Structure 1
Amino acid sequence: MPGEDEARLIALYDAHAPSVRRYVLSLTGDAAGADDIVQETLLRAWRSPKILAQEPTSTRSWMFTVARHLVIDEARSARRRREIGVAEPPDRGHEDGTDALFESLIVEEALAGLDPAHRDVIVHAYYRGCSTAEVARLLGIPAGTVKSRLHYGLRALRLALQEKGVTR
């Protein structure tokens, strides 16, 4: 058996929900939105003991006022203002290579600032895809020296890139 507040809420719904829904629908033209506004209006009535204590027939103007304010709040909300309905989704952006070009220019500039011995090892190992043994043979230096120059050269390259604002 429903409690007294629940019975009053049911009476409020029966007495006012259809007319409040029609009113909100005339303001918005949105059936789903009208249902949400009616539900929120009834929820606010349920939370207000003063409204529940009144007779259901005497709360009509209060319910219409609350519903109108909810419609206005929804129309002013940031969510509503930023949503733009379109018939079809927009095209996805395409990579145009600009970022890659800028990155390559920054890396090229940073490489130019390295010691030539370090730069040669890095270019052979990373840009030409040579192994440590191949780099050693091509440059005529021991494999251990290649590894050492790679280590210190990459460290210097990382610092040079950081100075240019590259963080990743």
Structure 2
Amino acid sequence: MGAEDELLEAVHESHADALYRYVVRRTGDEEEARDVVQETLLRAWRHPEVLERSEESVRAWLFTVARNLVVDHLRSARRTREHATGHLPEREEHDRTQAVLDSWLVADALVSLSPDHRAVVVGAYYGGRSVAELATELGVPTGTVKSRLHYGLRALRLALQEKGVTS
């Protein structure tokens, strides 16, 4: 740790609490006060020549910088136009109309499949089950599940095309 860092740490130890209390009294906002104190100490770090002055001079400089930051913030457009609120705004929700219509089309097309094909397609795509799991569940060989899945998807594609859905 260099001499400047030690000096800045000593300045922080000596003045940060007093600066914080001063800014809280000026702003009434603890969060803002922390930000102002941090910015004040950052400016002191950027101007190490200030830290070499007498203790009273450093303190006066820090409080002047803090006061100016508070005044700048109070005058800022953000402060005059933005207001804190206790509740979050409603989240934007995307229009799900098309998704609902698509799901109706698929559900209607699934009804047109044979029960065996429908069971395999629904189990695989909506249930997330593997071919082996479906074979065990339906009591048929895995080759039969694969065949039913292939022909079921083919029939589903044709049913959707009949309803005007293009790929």
Q: TM-score, with normalisation over the residues of structure 1?
A: 0.49
